[in-house]
Amino acid sequence: MLWAILITQIRSHRWHGTPLSLAPWQFAVATLALLPVAFYLEGDQPIKWSTELWAVILYNGPIATGFCTWAIVTVTRALPALTTSLGTLGVPVTGVIASAIVLNEPITGSNLGGLLLIVGGLGVLAISERLNRSKTD
């Protein structure tokens, strides 16, 4: 439900800046909102600074969060809502398959069922778009 609201909001919003220029403000507000929660839940745990922690921070900040947020907002603004919502479902499909190959994690029955539903939805979308194009040609 929140995903549908997000797509609708992004597509109907009157943008006064680019997604890239607005992202730092979004992350700053999110940080202010989540920092007290983090201190409440994890406040008694000391931070163990290490090379691995810095690598995770540097990856998660600008790449996994910043770039990916910019990319999905840009795609959501440019493509139809159905295409965007089904297209982004390719992310968990890729993640599950990659974890099975790289980490030897098992693909459970529920995972397989979910993957089949996602791939089926993508197939239905591709077929319906092809049929719509052939009707207009």
C-alpha 24 chain-centroid distance: 17
CA distance 39 to 43: 4
Nearest to 22 by CA among 30, 107, 96: 30
At 131 the pLDDT is: 83
| Same domain assignment for residues 131 and 94 | yes
User: Is 81 among the domain residues?
Assistant: yes
CA distance 91 to 83: 14
Mean pLDDT of the chain: 86
- What are the distances in angstroms from CA 39 to CA 25, 53, 90, 115? 21, 18, 34, 36
| Same domain assignment for residues 60 and 97 | no
**Structural domain range at position 75:** 55-88
87-131 pLDDT, tens digit per residue, is 788 888 889 999 999 999 999 999 999 999 888 888 887 888 788
> pTM for the whole thing?
0.61
Query: 3-class DSSP state for residue 15?
Result: coil
User: Is 105 among the domain residues?
Assistant: yes
Pick from 54-58, 62-66, 67-71, 129-133: least confident: 129-133
